[in-house]
Amino acid sequence: MTPSGKSLGQHFLIDRGAVRRIVDALALHPGEPVLEIGPGKGALTRELVRAAGRIAAVEIDPMLASRLRRQFDADRLLLFEQDVLRLDPAAVLEALGTGDDAHLVLAGNLPYRISKPVAQMVIRHRRRIDRAILMFQREVARRMTAAPGGRDYGPLSVLLALTFRIETLFDLPPRAFSPRPRVVSTVTLWRERDDRPLTGEHERRVRTVLAACFARRRRTLRNNLRAVFGEEQHAERVLAAAGIDGGLRAEALPPEGFLRLAALWEEAPLL
């Protein structure tokens, strides 16, 4: 059975005012390389093409892909008919004929079921992305932009805070889409942090630290690290070296604290 937009969890944006606000917020320049994720029926696509001249888009639904090809000439829309999670931004830039130093602009009204995987993909490929406007279920957007100290704050909040500056632009009610979802959506603007605190060589360790520290959210950092190291004294030495109070829970530790722990992680057995 061929998948359809409905079966894939897509809710197509029909609010023209929202489309204009999204394109205005991107502030596109003619010729700038753009990748639209999940163009669906092309409402946002038309305005992106108008602003940039030619864009790329990735659409997994073959029926929608066929419709898009009828709507847009190939010299205006470069269409990838595949799963966005398997698409390499470098391949998109090459297909668009940009230079080696080019960076993509992303835009997407994401099916809610792939929101977090797409966010992780953007983190992995951040060196090839200049900025992005991405739309999520409001509760998911809150978790992505959460500050320390609340239940919404978690590993993804930390990773995003260390890689992007994310601005919440506006919410959209269910009537802005067809079919109507049962939730409110939030449009977010992403820009990579200029200081780039999370380097590629540290990312694996930061992810390991986050998995350990958030393993049991109700436990303290001391207890979670003790479960990893096997003894409390060892955990205390690592926390002390990082200048972190072991009595805190992971949700209270700012992103920079996890960076400090990650810097010590490989050395921890020697402390």
Q: Are residues 129 and 228 in the same domain?
A: no
Residue 194 has pLDDT above 50, yes or no: yes
Residue 170: strand, helix, or coil: strand
Higher pLDDT, residue 99 or 143: 143
Task: Provide mean pLDDT across the span 84-108.
Answer: 93
* Cα-to-chain-centroid distance, residue 124: 9
3-state secondary structure of 259: helix
> Do 32 and 166 fall into the same domain?
yes
Same domain, 128 and 251: no
Q: Quick one: pLDDT band at residue 230, thresholds 50, 70, 90? A: confident
**What CATH number is given to the structural domain containing 143?**
3.40.50.150
* pLDDT at res. 267: 53
For residues 173 and 210, membership in a common domain is answered with no
- Do 258 and 125 lie in a common domain? no
Amino acid sitting at position 64: L
Which pLDDT score is estimated for 82? Answer: 96
Cβ-proximal residues to 97 (8 Å cutoff; 6+ apart), any chain: none
270 pLDDT above the threshold of 60:
no
User: Same structural domain for residues 150 and 236?
Assistant: no
- Report phi then psi at 150, rounded to 5: -130, 170
Query: Which pLDDT score, from 0 to 100, does residue 140 have?
Result: 95
Count up the domains in the chain and report the number.
Answer: 2
Instruction: Give the domain extent around 114.
Output: 12-192
Tell me, yes or no, whether 1 lies in a domain.
no
236 shares a domain with 146: no
Question: How much of the chain exceeds pLDDT 90, in percent?
Answer: 85
Query: Which residue among 192, 226, 244 closes a domain?
Result: 192
Domain shared by 240 and 149, yes or no: no
* CATH code of the domain covering residue 254: 1.10.8.100
Non-local (6+) Cβ contacts of 184 within 8 A are 137, 138, 171, 172, 173, 174
Element (H, E) at 147: none
The residue out of 146, 170, 192 marking a domain boundary is: 192
Reported confidence tier of residue 8, pLDDT bands at 50, 70, 90: low
68-87: average pLDDT: 96
Average per-residue pLDDT for the chain? 92
pLDDT band at 179 (very low <50, low <70, confident <90, very high): very high
The reply to whether 61 and 98 lie within a common domain is yes
The domain boundary, picked from 126, 157, 192, lies at 192
The answer to whether residue 4 is domain-embedded is no
6 part of a folded domain: no
User: Does a structural domain hold residue 3?
Assistant: no
Per-residue pLDDT at 154 exceeds 70: yes
DSSP structure string for 60-73: --HHHHHHHHHHS-
Query: The tokens of 25 are what?
Result: 């917020």
Q: Are residues 152 and 24 in the same domain?
A: yes
CA distance 245 to 222: 8
Q: What pLDDT does residue 271 have?
A: 38
Q: What is the pLDDT of residue 9?
A: 61
Q: Are residues 136 and 180 in the same domain?
A: yes
CB atoms within 10 A of CB 213: 26
CA dist., res. 198 & res. 6, Å (int)? 37
User: Is there a domain that residue 241 lies in?
Assistant: yes
In angstroms, rounded to a whole number, what is the distance separating the alpha carbons of residues 41 and 46? Answer: 10
Instruction: Answer yes or no: is 107 within a domain.
Output: yes
Query: Does residue 3 register a pLDDT over 60?
Result: no
Same domain, 132 and 177: yes
> Is 7 among the domain residues?
no
233: tokens are 């004294």
